[in-house]
Amino acid sequence: MAVSKWMIYGANGYTGELIARRAVSRGLKPVLAGRNRNKIEELANELRLEYKIFDLNNTNEIGSNIQEFRLVLHCAGPFTQTSVPMAKACISKKVHYLDITGEIPVYESLQALGEEAAKAGVLLLPGVGFDIVPTDCLASSLKESLSKPKFLELAFVGLSEVSPGTMKSALAQLPYGSMVRREGQMVGVPHLSRTREVVAGGKTYKVYGIPWGDVFTAYISTGIPNIDVYTDIPSGQVNALRYFKPIISLLKIPFVLKGVQALVGKTIKGPGERTRTLVKTTVWGEVRSEEGKKSTKILECKEGYEFTVESSLAAVSKVLSGKGGKGFKTPSLAFGSEFVLEIPGSKWKDISN
């Protein structure tokens, strides 16, 4: 088995294709895989890469298709349905598992497989994209900057358009409300029920609490028991969410959700190259102790999808070189809090500006 052989599963999706193209531009040769034969075949032929076609309905079939690889970078959503079958197959064949999810239920499910993965010598490393590398590394850096922090707040502003896959995943989670962590426990709260203002880059932003992956993972990375994550949401989306709130619960019905997701797949394309190149995202974080001491940091990084392309390839490189460990890990636990600074365009900002 070639030590460097690795697979991008879901390479026909918006983000998977971006990663595949960037990898090839750097002389890398991932094997492309997915369920859509026509799209995978077309992309693989264009990029002159090997490819495999298989779905995720049978663990044995998945295993037979991945057993020759060192790792799988899993990019096929919805991750709530696809992550566990792929991760279980990876454990059974001793193949490292990385993905680009940001969904709390996925982190919970994969953490539950952590002990089994560790025994097999397999790394389970979800969230190697914008979800959740910048926020996770920022959280860990903040933990290192203050003695005994008890409260952690994270916020990011400046995200651009979303991809079809991201929107489909968001719709699936929408009827279940938002999440915070209180005294170590996950707690459900209504959407838009938590707001605050953050100052970053000389601007003041009104941000809203969201069920970002760090509500789950930052506790694992830092041990801080009280965690909130926020982002800025355009007023039009806020008003729409409030207006449609009475019927959001209908998205719990499978055929309703699938119908809305199908519509999203036809109407949303994701940000274009110009947007991905020009947009910058700002990530703000603050920790506080019970006595009131606090530490604040601000991180600037690339647009979310551009960041994901770069950070996922950086994570792949590290794991192929033997780094990251085994079992369930967050990005900062696998590579350290400074990992985010290895991604081009990432830098600390002066909080006084």
Task: Give, for all 353 residues of the chain, the pLDDT tens digit.
Answer: 344 699 999 999 999 999 999 999 999 999 999 999 999 999 999 999 999 999 999 989 999 999 999 999 999 988 999 999 999 999 999 999 999 999 999 999 999 999 999 999 999 999 999 989 999 999 999 999 999 999 999 999 876 666 666 666 677 777 677 899 999 999 999 888 889 999 887 889 899 998 899 999 999 999 999 999 999 886 667 666 676 777 777 777 887 777 877 776 667 676 677 777 777 899 999 999 999 899 999 999 999 899 999 999 999 999 999 999 999 999 999 999 999 999 999 999 877 54
Domain range for 66 is: 6-130+306-336
List the CATH number of the domain containing 152.
Answer: 3.30.360.10
| Tokens encoding 171 | 């719709």
- Residue 68 one-letter amino acid: E
Q: What is the pLDDT of residue 253?
A: 81
Task: Give bridge partners of residue 9 from the DSSP assignment.
Answer: 33, 74
Q: How many domains does the chain have?
A: 2
| Tokens encoding 177 | 């409300």
**pLDDT, tens digit (0-9, with 9 covering 90-100), for 248-282:** 777 778 877 778 777 766 676 766 777 777 778 99
Tell me, yes or no, whether 223 and 321 share the same domain. no
**pLDDT, tens digit (0-9, with 9 covering 90-100), for 186-214:** 999 988 888 999 988 788 989 999 889 99
Chain centroid, CA 328 distance in Å? 15
> What is the C-alpha to C-alpha distance for residues 160 and 273, in angstroms, rounded to an integer?
12
Helix (H) and strand (E) counts in the chain: 14, 16
Through-space distance between the first and last CA atoms of the chain, rounded to whole angstroms: 52
Tell me, yes or no, whether 153 and 266 share the same domain. yes
Tell me, yes or no, whether 142 and 41 share the same domain. no
> What is the C-alpha to C-alpha distance for residues 353 and 351, in angstroms, rounded to an integer?
5
Residues 6+ apart with CB under 8 A from 198: 155, 157, 204, 205, 207, 230, 284
- Residue 242 one-letter amino acid: R
> What is the C-alpha to C-alpha distance for residues 335 and 101, in angstroms, rounded to an integer?
18
- Residue 326 one-letter amino acid: K
Q: What is the pLDDT of residue 260?
A: 75
Give, in order, the Cα–Cα distances in Å from 302 to each of 157, 243, 279, 341: 12, 33, 7, 11
Q: What is the pLDDT of residue 1?
A: 34
Tell me, yes or no, whether 156 and 36 share the same domain. no
Tell me, yes or no, whether 245 and 111 share the same domain. no
